[in-house]
């Protein structure tokens, strides 16, 4: 039986998983990225983990390829990062060539948000959908459009959904522009909303925490517990997210939207304002067929999608 290796490289952790051609998750492992040590060190530790995992796996499985999910702007053909804010020093490093040299297994790379969508398409909430749009909500926002299981993009930087401008005179984004979706739905967007609204809801549990200790995970947890400020933030964020999703639906006609990432954990707090916004902003002929689902694979989506990337690349 053939198997494929998926590697999801983030700014904090690296998720590695083995997936069989029969869609069986064989083994998974988590290591720290430690980006300050540079890409060569990370590739060596990934290679070591893969060798150890292969040694512990069923000998009847032959691992044919490795897929890697990376953040930022990539040069797919050269197998390297062009630009990635949370992996400083990785720009221009030959990721594919380096890991291939250490494992003797073909290596393929793709943007991590695209691979999360591919993972959900292959084994998750978007299983075999003819078209889907996936959004990952975390420190930033990733977006990916899949048509018949293939990532749709006309340029490597396509898919920067988080930087869709939804309020032209809005707050300044970390990218330097104003009114991006990430100013509402992201780590820095949530903190902006906390600072803006906490004087008006002083009884919120968020008042007990120093602002630098407030994370999207904490806000999600408090929203689930009914905290007024946390739910107010989710309501505004959900409305803004709905506007952005509406633009994508009206433009493409995609009828399945999958939302994942840590911010989506408080699903009921997010889902209702998103749907209210969609019903208000999507053309009536389209909204009847639109389905919005929570991602089902969690942190596994990235490496599962990376394994699928390798499988698809080798099938060609």
Under 8 Å between Cβ of 49 and 102: no
Q: Under a CB-based contact definition with an 8 Å cutoff, are residues 142 and 116 in contact?
A: yes
DSSP 203: T
Q: Do domains 2-120+299-315 and 128-296 have the same CATH topology?
A: yes
Residue 285 has pLDDT above 90, yes or no: yes
CB 67 within 8 A of CB 307: yes
pLDDT tens digits, one per residue of 132-183: 999 999 878 889 999 999 988 877 666 778 899 999 999 999 888 999 999 9
Residue 138: the pLDDT is 82
Annotated domain spans of the chain: 2-120+299-315, 128-296
Q: Quick one: fold of 128-296?
A: Nucleotidyltransferase; domain 5 (3.30.420)
Threshold 0.75, pTM exceeds? yes
Alpha-carbon distance of 127 to 260, in angstroms, equals 15
User: Is it the case that residue 112 has pLDDT exceeding 80?
Assistant: yes
Residue 156's pLDDT is: 64
Distance CA 86, CA 35 (A): 8
- Residue-wise pLDDT for 84-95, tens only, equals 877 889 999 999
Query: Residue 20 in contact with residue 61, Cβ under 8 Å?
Result: yes
**pLDDT score recorded for residue 139:** 78
- Which pLDDT belongs to residue 174? 84
Mean pLDDT of the chain: 93
Fold assignment, 2-120+299-315: Nucleotidyltransferase; domain 5 (3.30.420)
**pLDDT score for 170:** 93
| Rounded percentage of the chain residues whose pLDDT exceeds 70 | 98
Across 107-129, average pLDDT = 94
Q: Give the residue-averaged pLDDT of 188-209.
A: 94
Res 157: pLDDT: 61
Give the Cβ contact number of residue 262 at 10 Å: 18
The alpha-carbon radius of gyration of the chain (Å, integer) is: 20
* pLDDT given at position 59: 67
Alpha-carbon distance of 218 to 261, in angstroms, equals: 14
């Amino acid at each position: 039986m053939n198997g494929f290796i998926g590697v999801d490289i983030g700014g904090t952790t690296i998720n590695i998983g083995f997936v069989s051609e029969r869609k069986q998750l064989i083994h998974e492992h988590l290591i720290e990225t430690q980006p300050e040590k540079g890409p060569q060190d990370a590739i060596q530790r990934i290679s070591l983990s893969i060798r150890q995992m292969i040694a512990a796996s069923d000998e009847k499985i032959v691992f044919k390829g490795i897929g890697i999910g990376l953040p930022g702007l990539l040069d797919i053909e050269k197998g390297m990062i062009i630009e990635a804010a949370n992996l400083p020093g990785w720009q221009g490093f030959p990721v594919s060539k380096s890991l291939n040299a250490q494992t003797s297994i073909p290596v393929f790379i793709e943007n991590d948000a695209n691979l999360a969508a591919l993972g959900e398409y292959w084994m998750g909430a978007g299983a075999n959908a003819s078209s889907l749009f996936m959004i990952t909500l975390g420190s930033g926002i990733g977006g990916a459009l899949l048509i018949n299981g293939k990532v749709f993009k006309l340029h490597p930087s396509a898919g920067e959904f988080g930087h869709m401008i939804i309020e032209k005179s809005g707050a300044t984004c970390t990218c330097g522009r104003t009114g991006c979706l990430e100013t509402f739905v992201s780590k820095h967007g949530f903190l902006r909303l906390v600072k803006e609204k906490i004087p008006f809801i002083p009884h919120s549990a968020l008042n007990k925490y120093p602002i630098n200790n407030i994370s999207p995970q904490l806000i999600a947890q408090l929203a689930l517990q009914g905290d007024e400020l946390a739910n107010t933030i989710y309501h505004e964020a959900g409305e803004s997210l709905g506007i952005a999703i509406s633009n994508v639906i009206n433009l493409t006609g995609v009828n399945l939207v999958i939302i994942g990432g840590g911010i989506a954990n408080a699903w009921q707090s997010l889902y209702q304002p998103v749907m209210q916004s969609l019903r208000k902003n999507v053309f009536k002929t389209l909204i009847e067929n639109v389905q919005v689902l929570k991602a089902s694979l969690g942190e596994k989506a990235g490496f599962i999608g990376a394994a699928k990337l390798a499988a698809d690349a080798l099938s060609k």
